[in-house]
Amino acid sequence: MTTRADVAKIAGVSESTVSYVLSGKRPITEATKKRVQAAIDQTGYKSNYAAAALAGGTPRMVTMMTANLFQSPPSRIDGALIDGIVSGVKESGFHSVIWPVSNDNDSDIQDLLKLNFSGGVILMNVKDNDPRARTLNNANIPFVVLGRTNVNFAYNYVDRDFENVYKVALTKLKELGHIHIGVISGHAELNPYIKKVAKALKVDLTIMVTKNNRDAGIALAKDFKKNYPNVTGVISFLDVATVEFANAAAKFGLSIPGDVSLIGVNMLEEQAESAEPKISTVALEAFNMAVSCGRMIVEAIEAGKKSKKKRTELWVGDFVDRGSTTHNR
């Protein structure tokens, strides 16, 4: 079995330096950290994160709390987000683990705190006034929200700038002469960001509620002309359903973009490229956003629990024209 002494010998440092790199208990130069991490990778050494925490150090482990692992169909966006966080955390020699969230969010976070193996937490799939954020804040545990939640204190977060995302999409459709615009969504209520943008641009929105799966997308294409005769432009919050909507449209006599222009605002670029016809998007840089989130939690952990500094990032994305929009006839 590889020991800490083996790692120290290969890295050319003392065992105590290896311990400090793993625990974060003392500042270590970046060059030394990289040598130690390279030795760890070479030997396959596994440190005891819980023991490091009990010894008074800061575990170099990040916990991702997510609720969407077992949805059907699985979200490729969530997969890209998880991959990005893992990459962002690994850059600094940290490790990451997924903590699936049950219906009892408060119980989950309490169990995590009792185990004391995580140096910091990334909250995913947050809801309004998320109790997990309050619990972590009260416990003085470093955390970053991938998204945003309405709480009365400052916190670290990385999220999309939804108001400007919708502004990019709706402005494009308005410039092409579309004023009756459908919104493919999984929710019956439109969020205030898109309502605000639509009002400013003087366009009418029609919500198209559907599930985010293949059958729902096909059904939407089948009944589109009958159910939404006035809609000439569509933006979509869903990924799987929208790809299938585009794939099935021609089968039911619906031309994209001849009859309806289509813009996806919440799908991966490879998903948009896979559709036939391809779908124009406001690019969702899910992986890069998540890498930044991973870096942010590492910074928060290394700054220490007494640090009051908070960072926030909002990502928009450029309009990517793949030919699924055209002038309203």
- Asked whether residue 170 is domain-assigned, the answer is yes
Q: Write the CA distances from 286 to 75, 142, 169, 274, integer angstroms.
A: 12, 22, 18, 17
- Asked whether residue 151 is domain-assigned, the answer is yes
* Mean pLDDT value of segment 233-246: 97
The per-residue pLDDT for 112 is: 73
- Asked whether residue 233 is domain-assigned, the answer is yes
- Asked whether residue 73 is domain-assigned, the answer is yes
- Asked whether residue 55 is domain-assigned, the answer is no
* Spatial CB neighbours of 118, under 8 Å, sequence gap ≥ 6: 49, 59, 61, 62, 63, 97, 112, 141
- Return the higher-pLDDT residue of 57 and 219: 219
The per-residue pLDDT for 28 is: 81
Instruction: Kindly report whether the global pTM for this prediction surpasses the value 0.75.
Output: yes
Per the structure, the count of domains in the chain is: 3
Q: Is the pLDDT of residue 51 over 70?
A: no
Model confidence at 116, pLDDT cuts 50, 70, 90, reads low
Is 136 in the same domain as 78? yes
* Mean pLDDT value of segment 239-259: 97
The total of other beta-carbon atoms located within 10 Å of residue 187's CB is 10
The per-residue pLDDT for 49 is: 47
Is 168 in the same domain as 279? yes
Buried b (16+ CB within 10 A) or exposed e, 105-137: beebbeebeeeebbbbbbbbbbeeebebbbbbe
Is 290 in the same domain as 153? yes
Average model confidence (pLDDT) for the chain?
Answer: 88
The per-residue pLDDT for 55 is: 45
Q: Is the pLDDT of residue 188 over 70?
A: yes
- Asked whether residue 325 is domain-assigned, the answer is no
Is 141 in the same domain as 172? no
Is 34 in the same domain as 143? no
Read off the CATH number of the domain in which 217 is found.
Answer: 3.40.50.2300
Give the domain range for residue 80: 61-160+286-315
Q: Which of 71-85, 249-263, 303-317 has the highest mean pLDDT?
A: 249-263
Is 93 in the same domain as 202? no
pLDDT per position as a tens digit, 61-110 = 899 988 766 665 667 898 899 999 999 998 888 888 888 876 656 667 77
